[in-house]
Amino acid sequence: MRQTILALEPDWTPRLDQFVVGPNRELVDRLRHWHEAPPEERMIYLWGPRSCGKTHLLRALVPASRHIACETTTRIAADRETLLAIDDVHRLGAEGAIDLFHRYNERREGGMHLLVSGLCPPGELALLPDLRSRLAWGLVLRIQPLGDEDKFSALQRHAANLGLDFPDHALNYLLSHCPRDNNYLFGLMKTLQNWTISTHRNSITLPMIRTILDQQPGTPPCG
C-alpha cells in the first residue's frame, strides 16, 4: 500500500451539514447550538484521533480569522471577539500554553465562546497542568472515528463538494489501496480535481488515480 501524503488543502469552507455524522450524532447536535449555548456550555474541548474531523468542525463553527492552527511557536493574544477556535492544542509550546490558560480564564469570565481540539483528553495533554484542568472544566466531547460505510459517505460528499464525477468503484479503490487518513484522501481528491480541470476530463478513472499516486513521493503524516 502506498503511504504517500499530499500537501494540499481543500479550497472550500467546511459546513456543519457537510460533516458525515456516523456515530457522532449527539456531539454534532450539541455543536449545532453552540453559538446560542448558555455560559456553562460555551467552553468545549473536542478530542479524537487524527483525521476524525476535528478541524472540519472547528472551521465550520468559527470564521477563518478566528481559527488558530497550533504550532510550537503559536502565541494567542487577548481580544474581545465572541468566538475563538484553537486547533491541535497538543502542538502548543510552553508560551502558547500559558497564553491559552489566560485566554480561557478571560473568555470564561466574559461569557465568550472557546472551542479547542486535541488528540487526547485534557488530562493526558503534555501541557501546563493548570491549562489541562481548565480545559476539563467545560464540556469534553470525544469524536468517534467513522466506520467503513460512513467513510465512504464522507468521500462521496467531499467529491460532490469538489464537483467531481467520482464513480463508486473509484472511491472503493481509494479505500482499499490508499492510507485511510481523511487528510490524505481529501488531498488526493483535490489533486484529481486539478487533473480533470487541466485535462478537460469529466470523470475520475482508475488509470487516472494510479498515475497520480505514482507521481507522489513522500511519507504519511503523523501526530
Kindly tell me the burial class for residue 215, based on how many C-beta atoms sit within 10 Å of its own C-beta (0-12, 13-18, 19 or more).
exposed
Residue range 79-119, pLDDT digits in tens: 999 999 999 999 999 999 999 999 999 999 999 999 999 99
- Choose among 56, 157, 138, 55: nearest CA to 100: 138
- Mean per-residue pLDDT for 6-33? 79
- Check residue 11 and give its pLDDT: 53
Q: Is it the case that residue 26 has pLDDT exceeding 80?
A: yes
pLDDT for 140? 97
Q: 3.40.50.280, 1.10.8.60, 1.10.10.10, 1.10.1200.10: which CATH number matches 148-214?
A: 1.10.8.60
Cα 47 to Cα 2, 51, 89, 117, 141: the distances in Å are 28, 11, 10, 6, 6
Q: Residues 26-49: what's their mean pLDDT?
A: 95
Query: Nearest Cα to 128, choosing from 111, 104, 106, 108?
Result: 104
Position with higher pLDDT, 68 vs 161: 68
Sign of torsion over alpha carbons 93, 96, 101, 104? negative
Binned at pLDDT 50, 70 and 90, residue 217 comes out as low
DSSP string of 176-219, one letter each residue: HHS---HHHHHHHHHHHHHHHHHHT--B--HHHHHHHHHT--S-
Alpha-carbon span 213 to 4, nearest angstrom: 8
Q: Check if CATH label 3.40.50.300 holds for domain 21-142.
A: yes
Does the structure show a pLDDT above 80 at 37?
A: yes
Select the more confidently predicted residue: 182 or 122: 122
Mean pLDDT across the chain = 87
Residue 46 to residues 33, 34, 107, 180: CA-CA distances in angstroms?
15, 13, 17, 21
- The domain locations on the chain are 21-142, 148-214
Write down the pTM of the prediction.
0.77
pLDDT tens for 155-192 read 888 888 888 899 999 999 988 888 877 778 888 888 88
Q: Report pLDDT for 3.
A: 30
